[in-house]
Amino acid sequence: MEIVKILGIGLISVILIIVIKQYKPEFSVYISLIAGVIIILLIIDKITGIIGLLTALSTKVSINREFLEILLKITGIAILTEFAVSICKDLGESSIANKIDLGGKILIISISIPIISSLLESVIEILP
């Protein structure tokens, strides 16, 4: 039950942060970062399993491997962006969080251009 571990780490981290903020507020950031990294490490084998499954399915169905790689990159960018935005918001830096969020969105759009252009070409071929 990975979810129990994740919830446990999250709740223990929150309790530690609340207690430590009273005495050393600067250490609460480190606890938050460490908890986030531990949670990511707990789910990394699930992520690799999902990537392996998607790769195997793409070879069976003959999906363009480039598109699969793009989708995985987009997912990674979205997850990392959300992680960074959450940390910035926890630190009270919402303006930096908004800029990281915007940067992530722009990167996702720029990476997805091959998929968008392929989709538009398919639509143009279908239309009379």
Place of tokens 């918001």: 89
Question: What pLDDT is stored for residue 32 in this prediction?
Answer: 87
Please state, for a pLDDT cut of 70, what percent of the chain lies above it.
99
* 36-69 confidence digits (pLDDT tens): 899 989 998 898 888 888 888 888 887 778 888 8
Of residues 107 and 48, more confidently modeled: 107
Distance between CA atoms of 55 and 124, rounded to whole angstroms? 29
Question: What pLDDT is stored for residue 57 in this prediction?
Answer: 83
Q: Is the pLDDT assigned to residue 82 strictly greater than 90?
A: yes
Are residues 38 and 13 in contact, defined by beta-carbon separation less than 8 angstroms? no
Are residues 27 and 16 in contact, defined by beta-carbon separation less than 8 angstroms? no
Question: What pLDDT is stored for residue 112 in this prediction?
Answer: 93
